[in-house]
Amino acid sequence: MSSPNQPRRLICCIGTGGTIASEPTAGGLAPTRQDTFFRRIRSHPSLTSPSHFDSSSVSFSSPVLTQQVGKNIRYPRLITPELDDKGTNVEYEILDLDRHLDSSEMTPSEWNIIASLVYENWDNYDGFVILSGTDTLAYTAAILSFLFLEAGKPIIVTGAQIPLSRPRSDGWSNIFDSLFVTGTLDFAGVGIVFNHQLLRGTRATKSSPNLFSAFTTPCVPPLINFNVKITYDQSYPLTTRSANRPPPLVPLLTSPSVLSIHIYPGMTGSLLEAQIDAVPTCKAVIISAYGSGNLPINEHSGVLLSLKRMVEKEILVVVISQCGIPNVYPLYTQGRTLLSIGVLPGYDLMHEAAFAKLIWLVSRPELTFKQRQELFETPIVGEMSK
């Protein structure tokens, strides 16, 4: 058990649905909202200490006493077995959102709810674990990184490729490692825990729907590898816990404000403008360009003129790379011409981080267009290298 000189940490696990919480239904696996998810965790010896319950009185079917917290449900507190050689264990509570959803349905509205729950409960817990579906998991980690900039506690986002309800689920180890990070390590900030790795929250992308190593950080190494020996990235020291409180919470715009456009052969300026004009609330555009940020800028395509018009309308226009290991830099004529009309280079930003950074910027009404441009090109939370 935890040392008397080091109080046991208490972690809040926020359940949003996704694969990890999915159960068999008539229509296939779906993230249904029921206490079966809690029962599975309560019954698993890697996640709940046998001494926490009288094994003779608690079984999978034993009643679950829940507490209504607004629209959400809080489940009874659990205690892990020993998580390390020091005998450290962790207490944790699962706070389930009122609606479980497939993560492909995640929107800024849900991010506002998740962020508000973390913010409101900041003083009640020593760390947070967001249980998420995998499709938008990296987006969620990225936006939380900006919203909780320099905050002094860990916020981990995790999920699973196979539900806890099915054989061979990777969710058990992902939850275990998440509780290990939030409950035993001196780590602060937002990260992704998946397949025995801790990844930076603003650097990750989902690279496979099949592999257990579903998430990678192509431009930087993992922060931690949880192998037989736990190894740390020596080139990027971990941010340690502190008394830093979160900054005032930025309510994210829920109307469509950031568009993403993929460049392909034959793209024209009229096609670009048609997409922008169809969304009157658009305040920023991500252009996924070729190679190091190249676009067709010949006069015939009309792309350059369209981009210039967007900037003149004070729409943030950002160019990132379509490459798996991105790096946008003004080496060629196309890139330098784009810079001259106010288009911003995305450097080595992943799409997830670019989207999160832009929606964070355009949701701040106190910033001028010029300030938003300058902040976009400034590394804020380790999201890019210049």
CATH number of the domain bearing residue 207: 3.40.50.1170
Distance CA 332, CA 75 (A): 57
In a domain, 5, yes or no: no
- Lookup: tokens for 263: 């460049």
- Which residue bears the tokens 């892990």? 80
Amino acid at 148: F
**In terms of DSSP H, where are the helices of 167-238?**
171-184
Distance CA 240, CA 150 (A): 10
In a domain, 245, yes or no: no
Domain CATH number, residue 272: 3.40.50.40
What pLDDT sits at residue 61? 77
Q: Measured on CA atoms in the order 59, 60, 62, 63, is the torsion positive or negative?
A: positive
What pLDDT sits at residue 162? 97
Q: Measured on CA atoms in the order 215, 238, 189, 248, is the torsion positive or negative?
A: negative
CA-wise closest residue to 181 among 169, 196, 170, 171? 196
Query: In terms of domains, do 278 and 328 share one?
Result: yes
In a domain, 248, yes or no: no
Residue 386 DSSP symbol: -
264 half-sphere exposure, CB direction, 13 A CA radius: 3
Query: In terms of domains, do 101 and 177 share one?
Result: yes
Query: In terms of domains, do 344 and 212 share one?
Result: no
Query: In terms of domains, do 224 and 266 share one?
Result: no
In a domain, 369, yes or no: yes
What SS3 state is found at 55? coil
What pLDDT sits at residue 29? 81
CA-wise closest residue to 350 among 286, 277, 278? 286
Contacts of residue 302, defined as CB under 8 A and 6 or more positions apart, other chains included, come to 268, 269, 270
- Lookup: tokens for 201: 């929250």
Distance CA 176, CA 180 (A): 6
What pLDDT sits at residue 261? 97
Query: In terms of domains, do 203 and 284 share one?
Result: no
In a domain, 252, yes or no: no
Neighbours of 152 (CB within 10 A): 16
Query: In terms of domains, do 125 and 271 share one?
Result: no
Q: What number of residues does the chain have?
A: 386
Distance CA 11, CA 228 (A): 25
Burial of 90 (0-12, 13-18, 19+ CB in 10 A): buried
The boundaries of the domain holding residue 124 are 10-232
What pLDDT sits at residue 127? 98
In a domain, 253, yes or no: no
Residues in a beta bridge with 68:
73
Amino acid at 380: I
Query: In terms of domains, do 128 and 32 share one?
Result: yes
pLDDT digits (tens, 9 = 90+) for 317-344: 999 999 999 999 766 666 788 888 999 9
Beta-strand relationship, 28-30 and 154-158: unpaired
Number of structural domains (the chain) is 2
Query: In terms of domains, do 70 and 127 share one?
Result: yes
Distance CA 272, CA 226 (A): 45
Query: In terms of domains, do 177 and 297 share one?
Result: no
CA-wise closest residue to 132 among 165, 155, 107, 102? 102
- Lookup: tokens for 333: 């004529």
Contacts of residue 327, defined as CB under 8 A and 6 or more positions apart, other chains included, come to 219, 292, 321, 347, 348
In a domain, 159, yes or no: yes
What SS3 state is found at 307? helix
Query: In terms of domains, do 223 and 295 share one?
Result: no
- Which residue bears the tokens 């900039």? 149
In a domain, 295, yes or no: yes
What pLDDT sits at residue 24? 83
Query: In terms of domains, do 111 and 77 share one?
Result: yes
Predicted TM-score (pTM) of the model is 0.94
pLDDT lower than 50: segments of the chain: none
Query: In terms of domains, do 217 and 319 share one?
Result: no
- Which residue bears the tokens 């939850």? 175
Cα 100 off chain centre by = 17
